[in-house]
Chains A and B, each alone.
Chain A
Amino acid sequence: MRKTIFSAVLYIIAMAIILGTLTYGRPSAVVGLFLVSGLAVGSLYALGGIGLVVLYRATGILNFANGAVGAFGVMLAWQLGQWGVYAPLTWLAALLAAVLLALGYGRFVAPHLAWRPPVIKAVATLGFALVVLGITGFIWEDDIRSFSLPTDKSAIRVLGLRVTITRLIVIAAALGIVVAIYVFLGRTRIGLQMRALANNRNLSALMGVKIVRVETIAWGISGLISGFTGLMFGDLVRLEPQIITFLVIPSIAAAVCARLDNLMLVLVSGLSIGVIESLLTLSPMLKQVRPTAPFVIAAIILVWHQRNSKINISGDD
Chain B
Amino acid sequence: MKLNKVLAMLAVTGMCSVGNAAFAEMMEPTCGASTGKAATGEAIKVGGIHGNAAPGDFSSSTDAAKAYFDCVNANGGIHGRPVDYMVENDQWNPELASQAASKLVVDKAVVAMVGNGSFIEMSVNAPFYKEQNIMAMAAACAVSECFESSNLVSTNQGPLASSVGAAQYAEEELGSKNIACIGLAIPTVGPWSCNEVTRFMEARGKTGSTVLLNPGAPDVNSGLLEAIASGADTIMVNLPAGLGVAMLAVAQEQDLGDAYKWIASTPLYDASVPGALGEYWDGKLFINAELVPFSRDGADNTNWLALMDKYAAKDDPRDTFSQAGYLSARYFTETLMAMDAKDIDDRAKVTTAIKAISGYTSDMTCGPFYVGEADRHMPNHAGVMVVVKDGGFKEVRDCYEYDSPYFAELIETEKKLGLR
Contact = CB atoms under 8 A, between A and B. Distances in A.
Interface stretch (A96-104, A138-146, A258-266): A138-146
B352 interface: no
B218 A288 contact: no
A146 B276 contact: yes
Nearest to A162: B254
Given A155-B253, A240-B242, A277 B56 contact: no
A133 to B, nearest CB: 8
Interface string B211-254: 01010111111110110110000000000011101100100011
Interface in A7-58: 30, 33-34, 37-38, 40-41, 44
A141 B242 CA distance: 13
Interface in B234-289: 241-243, 245-246, 249, 253-255, 270, 272-273, 276-278
A250 interface: yes
A238 interface: yes
B60 to A, nearest CB: 11
A144 B214 contact: no
Contacts of B245: 144, 146, 238
A161 interface: yes
Interface in A183-203: none
Contacts of A33: 225, 228-229
A273 B347 CA distance: 56
A242 B54 contact: yes
Contact of A143 (B212, B228, B272, B278): B272
B41 interface: no
B246 A277 contact: no
Listed residue (A40, A144, A148, A161) with the most chain B CB atoms within 10 angstroms of its CB: A144
A278 interface: yes
A221 to B, nearest CB: 24
Interface of B: 2, 54-57, 185, 212, 214, 216-223, 225-226, 228-229, 241-243, 245-246, 249, 253-255, 270, 272-273, 276-278
A282 B229 CA distance: 9
A148 B25 CA distance: 36
Contacts of B54: 137, 142, 241-242
A242 B55 contact: yes
A252 to B, nearest CB: 14
Cβ-closest 4 pairs across A and B = A238-B246, A144-B272, A281-B222, A146-B276
Contacts of B272: 143-145
A237 interface: yes
Interface of A: 30, 33-34, 37-38, 40-41, 44, 137, 141-146, 148, 152, 155, 161-162, 164, 233, 237-238, 240-243, 246-247, 250, 274, 277-278, 281-282, 287-288, 290-291
Listed residue (B55, B222, B270, B277) with the most chain A CB atoms within 10 angstroms of its CB: B222
B390 to A, nearest CB: 18
A137 B242 CA distance: 15
A240 B55 CA distance: 8
B229 A162 contact: no
Nearest to A26: B229
Contacts of B253: 152, 155, 162, 164
Contact of A34 (B214, B222, B242): B222
A243 B242 CA distance: 11
Given A144-B272, A162-B254, A281-B226, A238 B243 contact: yes
A183 to B, nearest CB: 30
Given A144-B245, A238-B246, A291 B214 contact: yes
A159 B394 CA distance: 38
B254 to A, nearest CB: 5
Given A142-B56, A144-B276, A278-B219, 8 more contacts: A37-B219, A38-B222, A40-B221, A41-B219, A143-B272, A146-B245, A155-B255, A278-B221
Contacts of A242: 54-55
A161 B216 contact: no
A168 to B, nearest CB: 12
Contacts of B254: 161-162
A34 B270 CA distance: 31
A162 B57 CA distance: 34
Listed residue (B214, B226, B253, B270) with the most chain A CB atoms within 10 angstroms of its CB: B253
Contacts of B228: 33
A167 B107 CA distance: 55
A270 B164 CA distance: 39
Nearest to A145: B276
25 contacts: A34-B222, A37-B219, A37-B221, A40-B221, A141-B57, A142-B54, A142-B57, A143-B2, A144-B270, A144-B273, A146-B245, A152-B253, A155-B253, A155-B255, A162-B253, A238-B242, A240-B55, A241-B54, A243-B218, A278-B222, A278-B225, A281-B223, A290-B214, A291-B216, A291-B217
B246 A246 contact: no
Contacts of A34: 222, 225
A233 B255 CA distance: 20
A250 B218 contact: yes
Given A41-B218, A237-B218, A250-B218, A146 B225 contact: no
B246 A237 contact: yes
Contacts of B242: 144, 238, 240
Contacts of A250: 218
A247 B218 contact: yes
Contacts of A247: 218
A40 B253 CA distance: 12
B221 A146 contact: no
Listed residue (A152, A282, A291) with the most chain B CB atoms within 10 angstroms of its CB: A291
A162 B252 CA distance: 10
Nearest to A44: B218
Nearest to B317: A143
Contacts of B243: 238
Nearest to A240: B242
B213 to A, nearest CB: 10
Nearest to A152: B253
